[in-house]
Structure 1
């Protein structure tokens, strides 16, 4: 069984390699018309290794999505430090920010596919502002084939099932060969069998592209398969459990 530990205890493996993600004293507060502020993240500390798969769990509103958005530089913290692959994320702007986002893949619960674009064009969309050294369409086809959508490159999202749309979203996240994949409730809108298929795809990313994954989820089955489970409540890490090694 896993043991409760300090939030940073899972950060370094036995070989002492540099953590892929390092978060120190991270805080984010939202102020609304209500009298009480919303503390989305409060003094969060944790690290994760390369190729590690970490689940973020906790009730709705606990701060899981906010933490993902902060690590992905989709939002900015009020205080604290985020480092990814040894480079600071907090405070970066302009070209450096764009370059960082190119190295992070996002998978969201609601897919966020553009309805007028085909599956292949949705996968290619993140590349449009940039020059690439490879054939974009050929790579999109290759990735769509890898996620089980061979022959559906020309299909619009409206002609795809929910599970197929999520596969397109995963392919889109992989088009830039990300070092880190952030997935926010990736199985939340799917039936149990389709959710299981998506789980297999996500866990296969470590072997296929060497990615590290952080997955925010309410699904206990998905969380149980991750290397670590970090439980968040009211913006705080309350428990950080590492799954025992097997084999």
Structure 2
């Protein structure tokens, strides 16, 4: 229970980031199950059979425990209908689960990508810059989007939608600028060959997943076309 309520909202999927969660709390757009009219430090848990909410405030992290039901359940809401029921468990139980949540320390997207690249390089760290990681991450995200689209296209009962390519983010542009400046630093020596080999391996694995998803799509579309042809033949006869 040492996390701020903003981090808990982010981890529960009620905000896009910790900053977004902080803004949400500041504008009283988030709610927690609790006794109305009470402050965080003296809140009482909801009575059995009763569901009541109060606005989330930027209270001390330790006060969040006062909203727990049976000492472990936290009910959160964003807006009118976006509800999350969160079970609080110990750090040891969470570590044993092998899962991760948004905003978890050491489990950020770039951190995980760096670990993958180091593993692909036989455990050696070729010192990837943040800009390089961001660019590889964008390539992986693009491959992942293509794979998702391939699986969506396999469902012929759903009309295809127009999809627009995402614009390059301002953060990625700033990381590019940082990388160019960092290369001018004579104290940094980077192994281009090691980086290239590791990146190629990671992207190659991602492309294999993409090709498998496309294969699934093609098989589904072929079966749908064959079924449609059979139906048309039967109706014609």
Q: TM-score range by the shorter chain?
A: under 0.3
Structure with the bigger percentage of strand: 1
State the TM-score, normalizing by the size of structure 2. 0.25
TM normalised by structure 1 equals 0.24
The higher radius of gyration belongs to 2
> Of Structure 1 and Structure 2, which has the larger fraction of its residues in helix?
2
Q: Tell me which of the two structures has the higher relative contact order, counting C-alpha pairs closer than 8 angstroms and 6 or more residues apart.
A: 1
